[in-house]
Amino acid sequence: MDNTLNICIVDDDEIYKFTVVKILESIDFNKKIEVFSDGEEAFSFLLDNIDDSEQLPDIILLDINMPVMDGFQFMEEYIKIKPRVGKKITIYMVSSSVDLNDIEKAKGISEISDYIIKPIKRGQLKEIISGLRDIGRV
């Protein structure tokens, strides 16, 4: 079994994406990083690879506010196809929004593991990866 961790970053902020990629690259583990600018791009990727679990992400870091398809719209579509997805995908909503409505809405979606307020820190990413290692997913 391949122990590469597939990480998908879905965010329209170029600086944020660059920073998270650099942080992930600095952490010692086997990884493949996919980066998308909106939920529709990421959802299309999931659909294109729905039968290929090696290409599907293990972790999705999902922003809320994006053009075309926002994070909540992405989640609505993901929930529809989830039964067809051949692996467990851990999804984190990562947003600069501190609006309690956004936080509560995200926490009300069982497929979202946690809500993280930007900027995401190196320690938080290491914790996420360690957690997956502890349950044997890495």
pLDDT 10s digits, 88-129 = 999 999 999 999 999 999 999 999 999 999 999 999 999 998
Residue 135 predicted with pLDDT over 90: no
Other C-beta atoms closer than 10 Å to the C-beta of 46 total 21
The H-or-E segment that residue 73 falls in is helix 71-81
pLDDT of residue 2: 59
pLDDT in tens, 11-63: 999 999 999 999 999 998 889 999 999 999 999 999 999 999 999 999 999 99
**Spatial contact of 126 and 27, defined as CB atoms under 8 Å apart:** yes
Local structure of residue 12 (DSSP, 8 states): S
Sign, CA torsion 33/76/51/90: positive
The H-or-E segment that residue 15 falls in is helix 14-26
Residue 8 predicted with pLDDT over 50: yes
pLDDT of residue 132: 81
Q: Look at residues 32, 49, 67, 97 and name the one whose alpha carbon lies nearest to residue 21.
A: 32
pLDDT of residue 29: 86
Instruction: Give dist(CA 113, CA 109) in Å, integer.
Output: 9
- Domains along the chain with CATH numbers: 5-134 (3.40.50.2300)
Mean pLDDT of the region 72-84: 97
Residue 65 predicted with pLDDT over 80: yes
pLDDT of residue 1: 45
Instruction: Give φ, ψ of 32 to 5 degrees.
Output: -130, 125
Instruction: Give dist(CA 46, CA 50) in Å, integer.
Output: 6
pLDDT of residue 4: 87
Reported confidence tier of residue 137, pLDDT bands at 50, 70, 90: low
